[in-house]
Amino acid sequence: MIPILDLTHFHTEKKNQFVQELGKAYEEIGFVAIVGHGFPIELSQKLYEQVQAFFNLDEATKLKYRINGLAGQRGYTPFGMEHAKDRKEGDLKEFWQFGIELSEAELEALGYPANPDVIELPQFKELGYQTYNQLLSIGMDVLKAISLHLKLEEKYFDDFVVKGNSILRPIHYPPIQGEIGDAIRSAEHEDINLITLLMGASAAGLQVKDRKGNWINVETPENALVVNVGDMLQRLTNKVLISTTHRVINTPEARDGKSRYSIPFFLHPKSDMPLNCLKECTLSNPAQFEDITAGQYLDERLREIGLK
């Protein structure tokens, strides 16, 4: 089981203990389950209802919300379009991506596209927006704890991630039918971003690969958030914090006609954030990565996984 931490401790006299435990977990396995995060259960339930309603729409209706030229960064991406790096088989999933909600002028200044409205589901966008902001706030607390663990100023990440390029991604893994070859619901991969916050999925299947190469089923307390390190943070910390390989397997339930839904929040910084290895992380170990910005790295990875 991955470590379970209580985020309320970060705001009490147990703050240093939380920082130490989080840092240890991210150095050893890259994943934790967070309780005490304050994310409203009612909001989660309402959003999942809307997400299921969207993916139950007919294919022609969903395809109205596929936006060409955005590499899937907003709106709908059809089944099988995305694949893991170095794999040809498409993952057995379809998804939607919400970005930040800002004024037209701010979106244009930052180079972000707008979120489309789903005419058939008037609450879909608003609930996604509320969830986006809640998870961003929780994620910023986790980044503050990471900053302290790395001996940085506590608010080191704030200016980079406020109005950053974060994504909320509702995912539908349909029931598995017919011959699928080597394809699975989500092939083994690492996330691109700084950290990922995952709302409890509707079914089992998520596995994490430990340092010995063993696959561990991710089992968490009810309503916990799974929070893991992404490749951008691994790169920034020169592999002090590790971005762990994970996957979503084809469970027996998937063959029994059961869908799986999950809603990860990929916390990204602004595109111009430098991901150059921190000097604090290269004192005893030479930098293992070349200098690059978050935007350049994201572009590179979107091409590798078939979205661009």
Distances (CA, A) of 169 to 18, 29, 56, 262, 265: 28, 23, 16, 8, 6
| Integer Rg of the chain from CA | 19
pLDDT at 240: 96
pLDDT at 80: 79
Positions in the chain short of pLDDT 50:
none
With 0-12 / 13-18 / 19 or more C-beta atoms within 10 angstroms meaning exposed / middle / buried, residue 202 is middle
Q: Which domains does the chain have, with CATH numbers?
A: 4-304 (2.60.120.330)
pLDDT digits (tens, 9 = 90+) for 92-146: 899 999 999 999 999 999 999 999 999 999 999 999 999 999 999 999 999 999 9
Long-range contacts of 112-116 (CB under 8 A, 24+ apart): 112/165, 113/67, 113/70, 113/73, 113/74, 114/74, 115/74, 115/75, 116/65, 116/67, 116/74, 116/75
Distance CA 112, CA 74 (A): 10
Q: What is the pTM of this model?
A: 0.93
Distance CA 279, CA 259 (A): 46
pLDDT at 178: 66
